[in-house]
Chains A and B, each alone.
Chain A
Amino acid sequence: MYWKPEIEILPQQQLRVLQAQRLQDTLNRAVNSPFYGKLFQKHGIGPETVKSVDDIRRLPFTTKEDLRNNFPYGFLTVPKQGAIRLHCSSGTTGNPTVIFHDNHDLSSWADLVARSLYCAGLRDTDVFQNICGYGLFTGGLGFQYGAERLGALVIPAAAGNTRRQIKLMQDFGTTAIHTIPSYLFRLHGAFQDLGLDPRRDTSLKLFVIGAEPHTDAQRRRIEELFGVKAFNSYGLSEMNGPGVAFECQYQNGLHVWEDAFLTEIIDPDTLEPVPDGEEGELVFTTLDRHAMPLLRYRTRDLTRFLPGDCPCGRTHRRLARISGRSDDMFIIKGCNVFPMQIEKVLMRFAEVGTDYVIELETFDGNDELTVKVELQKEWFTGDIEALEKLSRQIAHEVRDEILVSPAIRLVEPGSLPRSEGKAVRVVDSRKS
């Protein structure tokens, strides 16, 4: 039933006691990092300030800006030699956000992912094909180590080459897949092109999907197309990556692993906790990370706690599907993108203005990103080839920045909303 029953069905009251102990440990470690050392001193606080889990509110928040400003080693609690792996964010604009792990951290992370996969129904008899980017992206190695820890046979298929993915599935009898939801639609199209029906011609029985916003209707459509149950995974690189919150067999929200992540939901404007069950911004404090603990990290993801107990028996509270962001970041094809990254690329091209609109749409199950930008009057020469070349150059440089290929659409000057005030820069019409 459970990967780690002593933790997964621990009554909430005892879970709080465990959290309080681990929080103390975490604070005692955090104070050794240059960033938290200074922060504690500045606010006249320390591990002794926080006596209960609720006292966490006496600590200030940590933000992505803090991570960037203290790049690369400002959050390390151990000498650099003590860390054995790092993962960092994509993009070439400014400092990336980097997370370091020591031996304990990687083992604890693998355990959380194993627990998550087990919770969704993966067993050591399964063949698990991990179809996502390896390398800096946490979904690759994160699921690799987790599924290995669980004892499944893992195929590190990585992203792309759909025909080959299908061949791997057939050659090795893949029973479970982790990937981003939009890829499953493409995969299904490829099965059809080959005259195959995945419901009949594969051994698939379990999907794990995440790293990309999608609706429940999209999930049900995927389940219908493949005849396979699809489970939601939630994570973020600042909290290791995958293995933060996961759906169980009941698919009724995501159990957040409260022994590893102290979870708060706050009002992003007042920064006060929202009443129980109301939507707000997720804030996490790591409870089992040694090299780089993070305290009250603002995820910018919006969600709420779901009320009631889960029939699966796990006591860890359930989060609703992420409903949006409290900043302007969006996720496409598994990549986190801030409009500012695209804006900075556009500013390198004198031929186009700095007003822009980013459109996110779904075509044939694939998410596409279009950047609309105004052609500057004085740069127009009447040469169609020059404009096409310009579009290609912009697309190329945007891709280098955000790792997703955009379509560039030149529009007439003055046709986009001005940059003053709160102009809408991102129009997300992705639907099921």
Chain B
Amino acid sequence: MIAHQVSIFLENKPGRLEKVTSVLKGTGINIRAMTLSTSSAGWGILNLLVDRPETACKKLSEAGHPAVLREIVVVRMQDRSGALHDMLSLLTLAGLNVQNAYGTVLGDNKTAILVIDVEDTEHVQQIFDSAGVQALTSKEVYGL
């Protein structure tokens, strides 16, 4: 099963991010990782890795936010120097352009995860598969 993140359109204004977190808090959603990309035109897209993306997306949408589920590929890496480079090298070799990626260190202090947001997730899966890197299942991602 392909994992999903929640992407939310936000105006670049004080209090907008807080409106989103307030919805998530009210629903008991746990956020594992996030990135915020802002355009120069006064808005941005918030990407959230959460434990229950469908619920989060539904609740945010009900609260009036443009929110969608976007497919992601999540891989586990060792928490050491050069690990991210090795992963990205695989994608570069395959000529793939990553639109958005982010990572987070897990609680064991030994492993980290890399979240990759691209149009063609299947392609990324294949690249990792053929390099012997195991992508996490959606269940694994949400249970991090």
Task: Give A contacts to B, CB under 8 Å.
Answer: 375-377, 380-385, 387-388, 391, 407-415
Contacts and interface: CB of A to CB of B under 8 A. Distances in A.
B39 A384 contact: yes
A382 B117 CA distance: 10
A376 B67 CA distance: 11
Given A412-B11, A415-B11, A385 B99 contact: yes
Interface of B: 7, 9-11, 16, 37, 39, 41-43, 45, 47, 61, 64-68, 70, 99-100
Given A380-B67, A381-B68, A412 B10 contact: yes
A393 B141 CA distance: 37
B64 A382 contact: no
B66 A391 contact: no
A192 B61 CA distance: 51
A412 B9 contact: yes
Contacts of B16: 412
B66 A375 contact: yes
A384 to B, nearest CB: 5
Contacts, number: 60
Given A375-B9, A382-B7, A410 B64 contact: no
Contact of A413 (B7, B64, B100): B64
A385 to B, nearest CB: 7
Contacts of A381: 7, 68, 70
B11 A388 contact: no
The A interface is mostly helix, strand or loop, or mixed, namely: mixed
Contacts of A384: 37, 39, 45, 99-100
Contact of B65 (A388, A411, A412): A412
Contact of B47 (A382, A385, A409): A382
A416 to B, nearest CB: 11
A422 B42 CA distance: 27
Nearest to A407: B41
Contacts of B42: 409-411
Contacts of B11: 411-412, 415
B39 A382 contact: no
Given A380-B67, A382-B7, A411 B61 contact: no
13 contacts: A375-B43, A377-B61, A380-B68, A382-B7, A382-B68, A384-B45, A384-B99, A388-B39, A388-B41, A410-B42, A411-B11, A411-B43, A413-B66
A412 B66 CA distance: 7
Of all A-B residue pairs in the complex, the 9 with the closest CB atoms, nearest first, are: A382-B7, A380-B66, A382-B70, A377-B66, A382-B68, A409-B42, A380-B9, A410-B43, A384-B45
Nearest to B46: A382
A409 B41 contact: yes
Most buried by B among A380, A382, A388, A408: A382
A408 B68 CA distance: 23
A413 B43 CA distance: 13
A385 B118 CA distance: 12
B92 to A, nearest CB: 20
Nearest to A412: B11
A388 B47 CA distance: 17
Given A382-B47, A411-B43, 4 more contacts: A376-B66, A381-B68, A408-B41, A410-B41
A218 to B, nearest CB: 27
A382 B67 CA distance: 7
A285 B47 CA distance: 62
A411 B68 CA distance: 16
A409 B10 CA distance: 12
Nearest to B38: A384
A375 B66 CA distance: 8
A346 to B, nearest CB: 16
A376 B7 CA distance: 14
A414 B16 CA distance: 13
A413 B47 CA distance: 19
A391 B41 CA distance: 9
A415 B47 CA distance: 21
A391 B42 CA distance: 11
A266 to B, nearest CB: 42
B43 A409 contact: yes
A385 B45 CA distance: 11
Contacts of B45: 382, 384, 387
B101 to A, nearest CB: 13
B5 to A, nearest CB: 8
